[in-house]
């Protein structure tokens, strides 16, 4: 039976980070081509893999972030795996669907129904370049939350987001919305801009990918992106560095250890 979203993403995040002393978001970028051999003959290998990862890491995770593309690439089985995965995440841990959608009117409404009502996620990532239409349908829904792409971790962010400092315009746009409904995606590989974006967005939650496999500097992120020690308002996302660290039958145990290790590194960096 699907979970009922009884709390908003904002509330679930704040409760989870305090109760677990964690700012870790585990990215479930469950690429079927990288799954361990030991799960590939299962009826739904992506789900089998994810279930084991969730069970091994949930003590340390403040959120989970499945990336929609990897589930779509597996067809119907992948979408089944995604729905089952969301249902398997403990109810007190928020789920962010990394879908990067952004559209107008009825199209955006259809996305929101699919993700928040059918998939029952707590938050999504959005591309804000089509303006307020991307967000306005969520503005009246207390439990819907979006992370808007502000400055991404990939090198080609320079093509548009860094050109003429477009990221500052996006940050100023995000600030028009409640911090309880809209946050920002800011890459860990862009630490020199993190402090500027935090000044523009003092209260929003930052979803920060790029630590780990992409080479982002954790300490630089913590130094520049934290609001206060009491209200850090960040999520450090790690995907491949946790879930694909081990390709053997011990993959879940290893993922649990990597999640715990990164949590401890975050705590130490905050001291």
CA distances from 129 to 135, 166, 194, 222 (A): 11, 10, 20, 28
Q: What is the pLDDT of residues 138-162, one digit of tens each?
A: 766 777 999 999 999 899 999 999 9
Please state the φ and ψ torsions of residue 190, each to the nearest 5 degrees.
Answer: -120, 50
Per-residue pLDDT, 2? 47
Q: What is the pLDDT of residues 184-229, one digit of tens each?
A: 999 998 888 999 999 999 999 999 998 866 678 899 999 999 988 7
Q: What is the pLDDT of residues 46-65, one digit of tens each?
A: 999 999 999 999 999 999 99
Per-residue pLDDT, 44? 97
Determine whether domain 23-270 maps to CATH 3.20.20.70.
yes
Catalytic residue among 100, 143, 180, 257: 100
Q: How confident is the model at residue 90 (pLDDT cuts 50, 70, 90)?
A: very high
Q: Decide if 100 is catalytic.
A: yes
Contacts of 189 (CB under 8 A, 6+ apart): 153, 154, 210, 214, 215, 216
Contacts of 110 (CB under 8 A, 6+ apart): none
For 166-177, letters b (16+ CB in 10 Å) and e give ebbebbebbbeb
Q: What sign has the CA pseudo-torsion 66, 72, 74, 78?
A: positive
User: Which DSSP category does 161 fall into?
Assistant: T
Instruction: Spell out the domain ranges in the chain.
Output: 23-270
pLDDT above 90 covers what percent of the chain? 85
């Amino acid at each position: 039976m699907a979970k009922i979203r009884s709390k908003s993403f904002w509330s679930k995040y704040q409760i989870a980070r305090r109760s677990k002393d964690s700012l870790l978001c585990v990215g479930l970028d469950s690429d079927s081509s990288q799954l361990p051999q030991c799960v590939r003959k299962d009826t739904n290998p992506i789900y089998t893999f994810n279930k084991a990862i969730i069970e091994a890491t949930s003590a340390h995770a403040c959120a989970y972030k499945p990336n929609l593309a990897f589930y779509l690439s597996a067809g119907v089985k992948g979408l089944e795996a995604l729905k089952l995965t969301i249902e398997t995440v403990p109810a007190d841990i928020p789920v962010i669907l990394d879908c990067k959608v952004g559209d107008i009117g009825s199209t955006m409404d259809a996305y929101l129904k699919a993700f928040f009502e059918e998939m029952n996620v707590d938050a999504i990532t959005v591309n804000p370049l089509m303006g307020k239409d991307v967000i306005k349908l969520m503005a009246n829904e207390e439990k819907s939350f979006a992370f808007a792409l502000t400055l991404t971790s990939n090198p080609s962010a320079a093509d548009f987001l860094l050109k003429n400092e477009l990221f500052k315009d996006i940050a100023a746009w995000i600030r028009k919305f409640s911090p309880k409904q809209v946050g920002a995606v800011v890459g860990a590989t862009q630490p020199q801009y993190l402090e500027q974006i935090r000044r523009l967005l003092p209260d929003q939650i930052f979803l920060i990918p790029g630590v780990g496999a992409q080479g982002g500097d954790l300490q630089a992120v913590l130094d520049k992106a934290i609001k206060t020690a009491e209200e850090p308002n960040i999520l450090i996302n790690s995907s491949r560095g946790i879930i694909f660290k081990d390709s053997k039958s011990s993959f879940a145990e290893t993922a649990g250890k990597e999640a715990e290790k990164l949590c401890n590194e975050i705590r130490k960096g905050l001291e």
